[in-house]
Amino acid sequence: MDRGALRRGVVARGVARRSYLSPQARNNVAGYLFILPWLIKLLFLIAGAMLASLGVSFLETDFLTKFNFVGLRNYTKMFEDPLFWQSLKVTAFYTFGTVPLAIVFALSIALLLNQKVAALGVARTVYYLPSIVSGVAISILWTYLLNPRYGLVNQGLAMLGIEGPKWIYSTTWAVPSFILMGVWAAGGNMLLYLAGLQGIPTALYEAAKIDGANAWHCFWRITIPMLTPTIYFNLIMNIIGSWQVFTQSYIMTSGGPNNATLTMVLFLFRKGFQQFHFGYAAAIAWVVFAIVMVFTLLVIRSSEAWVYYAGELRR
């Protein structure tokens, strides 16, 4: 306890001030004053902006000359737009590829690093590093790493006697390239798993050993269940992040080749900020939102079946 801080507080304030407000009223005033920045953001930049966004999605507008009400036409137009379906396909492919692989990768690294290894700091840094570097730097770097002729990846594969594909220049391999990059940068989650692993009481393993459990049992019956809250949190965050993938396709491929990497947010960006169909772009944003919501709710609804909180009895 920081006694100095305590004493300073006491000396500075002296005796309690008298107030005409009841204690609850004072709490209310103080509470709302303290959360004022968040309230402003919630009212204007979140709730207000969402309502406005819904409104804009019913308009045909470039925000300058025309504001025409078109009802649901932006949405119906979207569902007839092959580019929209392409972007949906690309983004779904990326999400379903990256999310599970990133979780398995980050979890495996965390399990390895949890074996009381020497030079833990160095190892942790090496695996964590890619996740703190900016998306722009990573995208620029990988553009050259994935160069079919002289890039690092294909030269490494050539050493193994494999002729590498054309990666971001091939319609088949462009999205897998992004998945590869996503897994490489998944070390950020590793720290959370490591923290989770270190929070598992050793008594559980000792008790299991006395009962004759081997390492395999311990892993599936103790480690994984105890980690499910962390996995759950990462799963939701990764799903939300993956559906918004943008930087790679904007910088590395401009959505190509032949729209093979046209992600939903890139599609939105083009419609809104390059072609000035802001109404259409807002409608796309709502579809992205709906998709993210559906998947998040699916995970949340399923969580009761597989997420285990220590100290909570199974119903």
Partner 1 sequence: MRSQIQQAIEVQQIDWERVVRQVRQVVGRLLLYAVLVAGGILMAMPFLWMLSASLKPTNLIGVVPIVWIPPKIVWTHYIDPWAVLPFLTFYRNTIVITFANVVCILLTTSMVAFAFARIPFWGRDVHFLILLATMMLPGQVTLIPTYLLWSKLRAVNTFWPLMVPEWLSAAFDVFLFRQFYMTISPELDDSARIDGCGWFGIYSRILLPLCKPALGVLAIMNFSYNWNNFFDPLIYLNDPQRFTIALGLLYFRVRGGAGAETQDIGGLMAMTIVSMIPVLIVFFIAQRRFIQGIVITGIKG
Q: Measured between alpha carbons, how far is 238 from 136 in angstroms, rounded to an integer?
A: 19
Residue ranges in 179-208 that form contacts with partner 1 under rule CB under 8 A? 184, 187, 191-192, 195-196, 198-199
Among 50, 72, 104, 207, binds partner 1 (CB under 8 A): 50
Longest dimension (CA), the chain: 83
Minimum distance from residue 54 beta carbon to partner 1 (Å): 9
Strand partners, 69: 59
Q: Rule CB under 8 A: say whether 30 interacts with partner 1.
A: yes
Minimum distance from residue 80 beta carbon to partner 1 (Å): 21
Count of residues for the chain?
315
Minimum distance from residue 147 beta carbon to partner 1 (Å): 8
Minimum distance from residue 170 beta carbon to partner 1 (Å): 18
Minimum distance from residue 8 beta carbon to partner 1 (Å): 6
Minimum distance from residue 311 beta carbon to partner 1 (Å): 11
Residue ranges in 121-160 that form contacts with partner 1 under rule CB under 8 A? 121, 123-127, 129-130, 132-137, 140-142, 144-145, 149-150, 152, 155-156
Q: Rule CB under 8 A: say whether 272 interacts with partner 1.
A: yes
Residue ranges in 68-97 that form contacts with partner 1 under rule CB under 8 A? none
**Per-residue interface string for the shown chain with partner 1, residues 273-312, x marking contact by CB under 8 A:** x----x--xx-xxx-xx--xx--x----------x-x---
